[in-house]
Each structure stands twice: as C-alpha cells, then as structure tokens.
Copies of this chain bind each other. A is one copy, B any other.
Amino acid sequence: MIIDGKKVASEIYEELKKEVSNLSEKVYLKAILVGNNEDSIRYINQKKKWAEYLWIDFELFHYEENFDEQELLNKIEWLNDDKKTHWFIVQLPLPKHIDTAKVINAIKPEKDVDWFTKQNFWKLAIWDSSFLASCTPTWIMTLLEKYNIDVTWKDVVVIWRSNIVGKPLSLMMLNNSATITTCHSRTKDISYYTKKADIVCVAIWKPWFLTLDMINKNTIVIDVWFTVRDWKIYWDADFETINNNWNMITPVPGGVWAMTVAMLMQNTLKAYNIQNEK
C-alpha cells in the first residue's frame, strides 16, 4: 500500500494557502544559491513554484560557483537585518571553498527556515517545540501522523546518519518514544534490526538497498532518496516488490519532494509567526 506523500502535501498546501490569505502582511521567503548543481536548481524551482502558489513572495539570489565566502557572509548579514526578508534558505551543498558550518551559523535562528543553526538543533535535542525543524525528518513525522501511525512503542530503524536527515530524524523519533536504531556503512548486520522493525526509514542513496527479505510483513518503509543512473531511477528500497507484498511504502520520486517543499512552506509560516509574536 502506497503512503501518498503527494496527496498529503496537497492537503497541507491548501491549509497553508488559507492561512497566508488571512495574514495582514506580505510573507517573504528568499533563497541563496551558489553554483549550478542540477539537483539544487530543480529543488529551488520547486520551492519557487509552491511559494508563488501560496502567495508567498519568493526571491532568489543566484551566484557563480566561485563566489567569495566573505561576500556570502555579508549577504547573509544583510538578509538577517532586512525587514523585507522574514526568512531565507541557503541552498546546500555549497562549493568546497566555502565553510558550510560558518555560513549556516551566520543565519539568525529565527530566519533559518532550513533549521540548520545550532539553536534550532539544541531545541530539537531537548524537545522544545518552538524549533524550526529540518524539512526531511519533519515530513517523515508528519506523513506518519497523517496516516495515524503513532511511533510510541514502535521499533524504528533509520538507515544513514547524516546531520541533515539521520541524526535529527533519530532524535525526533526518540522524543516521540520510538525505540530507535541508527544504522550506517559500519553496521555489521542491518537485517537483524530491519527484520524486527515496525518502521524503516532509508536515506542511504544506494539503489535498491532495502529488499523484501530484510523486513517483516508489517514493516512500514519510508524511502527518502533515489539515484538516477543512465536515465533510470533507482529507489533506496525495492519499491515494486515491497509494494506488491502489501507493506506500506512511500514512493520516490512522487511524494518526497512534494512533502519536503510543503514542510519548508510550513516552516516559513512558523518562522513568520515566531517573528510576529515579538
């Protein structure tokens, strides 16, 4: 059975559209893109499309691959202070000559829609819900919630331990009382964990990594990434076989991006509200 991320995203967009239309002030979302990474450009275009759909004012600052780190920091400082920028995104990855952590932490936490600053991470860790959470782990939690799947008491496996997905997702699951195992490239026997799991979240970027024999008949599979090789799409999980076996699974693409962008817009509104409370 398919967990329909696109459908849920549509519902969220309609709710957000209503919310934005009731605001007295204009909502501004801005984005910085350095270089011409194809995935980044596609992703930025999705953000632009949906921001405009929601009547959110979207502006992109697009710089060349060799853009200077200090100039980037100056731009961030300007956006931090700009009254017509309620919040903004620095699209990752940044080129290698730029110190990503330094750039990210230059962003004011309350303008950090992508949630990478230390203050937001700390709030996540101590489960202070006023944080702006990273979009990918947030859509996973939201999707499960919309399908009435409570993670409390559940055995959950997260495959991959990135700062962007694996770690925050593990913490969110833990805060919601799931028993959480985080696996990665140095895990001896991933199947031992996935076979027991009620939910497996796979974000490993390896074609068809998670197969039917690794899970049980009730395991719900949340597949986060996919790989394109020779114009063909490979999911992290063996979608066809797992889906034919009646396990619940998210299809990618088709749902993941939609949900990620929906979460970004949701965070945008949350950031707007946090700023307006002051």
Contacts and interface: CB of A to CB of B under 8 A. Distances in A.
Contacts of A118: 118-119, 121-123
A200 to B, nearest CB: 14
A101 interface: yes
Interface size on A, as a range, is 20 to 34
A275 interface: no
Contacts of A123: 118
Contacts of A171: 167
B179 A188 contact: yes
A126 B163 contact: yes
A153 interface: yes
A122 B171 CA distance: 13
A61 interface: no
Given A118-B122, A125-B163, A153 B101 contact: no
A174 interface: yes
Contacts of A196: 192
